[in-house]
Amino acid sequence: MPKRISISLPDPYYEKLEQWAESDDRTVAGLAGYILQRAIDEAEREGKIEVRKEPPNPSGR
């Protein structure tokens, strides 16, 4: 299940994110999520964070 987070950005960065989202026909939240996913994938490739073999099981089974 997707998780929600709240972030704060300086106005100039938010405005640029808005422009980018509009040019990609995405919502600001959708674009921010996409950017974060790409950054996490890159961090895994660079060995900065552990790569999980299987997704975690939320039911604990």
Domain boundaries, the chain: 11-45
- At 9, which amino acid appears? L
Rg (CA), the chain: 15
The pLDDT-based confidence of 53 (bands split at 50, 70, 90) is: confident
4-50: pLDDT as tens digits: 999 999 999 999 999 999 999 999 999 999 999 999 999 999 999 99
Q: What is the pLDDT of residue 52?
A: 78
Q: What is the pTM of this model?
A: 0.77
CA atoms of 25 and 7, how far apart (whole Å):
21
